[in-house]
Structure 1
Amino acid sequence: MSEETIFSLRDVTFYYPDTKRPAISGITMDVETGWWVSIVGDNGSGKSTLAKHLNALLVPTRGVCFVLGNDTKDSSSHWKIRKNVSMVFQNPENQIVASVVEEEVAFGPENLGLSSEEIKKRVNWALDVTGLAEFAQKPSYALSGGQKQRLALAGALAMKPKCIVLDEATSMLDPEGRRDLMEVLKKLHEGGMTVVTITHRVEEILMSDYVAVLRQGKLTFYGRLGDVLEDSKLVEFGIKEPAIFRLWRDLKTRGLLDDEVFPRAEDMAENVVQKLCR
């Protein structure tokens, strides 16, 4: 395990109480600092169960899960793990505990025992990053669904974690709310934060560096985004392939793209124009 490894799972298997079938089975994977990993799969494939192992909300029945070198089975390491790995869940209503926006963001840092000056600094930063600074004094219940999800993210970010894990955090949002939240995550990732997203949305998968595919609790594929897109593997994994993927492969075949991994649409268009104008 290198110093850059944030998550290291070896043969992780987990049974919920009174169940005969494991929710996840034999999961082995590493996530390096600074990666963006999308975890995808059908309903019931074990995505949320796997996510909860990443900050010790669940610990393996068998196998081992290390977070920043800490064995999650060691309960004395849980505080350190959860300080460095924050989670944002599907329903923001279940995560917000304070009635005022800035008080909600301050909740986590206050529990860390930080000075009032440091708490204020973190709150202001988290609200600014998530685009909620103008709502600092507003009641949290008055926010829209998308704003509430950004508030949940702001509260997680105020802990200054090394990694943020989002479990279907955009599934209840409208298109605008999803775009806003993903734009925030994109900026955080560009700044070096490790991001893990549990999702079924192709547009979100496209933002990741690596993709993990779960089926019936087993890890059936784990690799770079470009490897998933090659040879129509998304279809193999039960994910509908957008036309832009086929266009990308066709442009590469014609020699109009040099990218080995799937680029952003605007970068793809720019590269093609440059090739044609030479």
Structure 2
Amino acid sequence: MLLTDTPAWSKKKLGRLGRALADGSVPPENCPAYDDVMLWHHELAATIADEVASRRWESSAGIELEVSSRGKTIDTLIQKLRRPPLIPLDQVQDLAGVRVDADMTLSQQTAFAHELAAHYEVEERCHRDLRADPHSGYRAYHLWLRVPAGRAEIQIRTEGQSAWANTYERMGDTFGRGIRYDEAPSNRNVQKLVEIMHSMSEMLMRIETQRDELSYGQQEAEARAVLDESPHPELHVGLAITLESIERRRRDYDQLHADHLAQMDKIRRMIEDLEEVS
């Protein structure tokens, strides 16, 4: 598939299929088959994912990108079509979904998102930065692509954001997808786990913000250059102490980040054990 290809159906006919799915009725004859629509969007997502994975991006030099693609299942799609605010099927943005996970800082995440947006000509209004304003604890940077072949969503996530999202998604599959939309579960133990996950999302954001600020930047590079070239011992000592302090704090927050990921993995394994018991 090429991104310039166009589907065999119109937006109007796609909308008719969506209304039938939401109503639980038989789709009219003059609209596309559900299987054909989903196959098309699976291929669209795979095409974008292949390009993202194979292309050399200046902003992600030295960063290993984990790129995957997926389409919506019929159950999650119907839930989305029925959930307020009601969105017509022809306007559902993530029928074709691409995920890009990487061990990157928040600044690197922003730079990569902007480079992707420039490449795919994504308008500013189609940027969804969910880091400072998360959706039910979920944080990421989303881009909404609108190409002749259809609509697609690229989700760009740091290692920590990905671990949190995968754990919370597993919780939704086990305890009910309503938790992804801030619906309170009836089980108090599940509600407590939801609260813990939301607290962990807040903590993760603080850790990632500090790691971002402590990452090697221009000022540190300049300080190291002065340290290497300056003939003044007193300046040497001061800069050395400053750089040592930065490095120590960097190691501390790297350890906090690793501990946070380990806690997330522990919760995910606990959920898997509950699934086996049930």
Please give the TM-score of this superposition, normalised by the length of structure 2: 0.27
Q: Which has the larger radius of gyration?
A: 2
Q: Which has the higher strand share?
A: 1
Please give the TM-score of this superposition, normalised by the length of structure 1: 0.27
Q: Which has the higher helix share?
A: 2
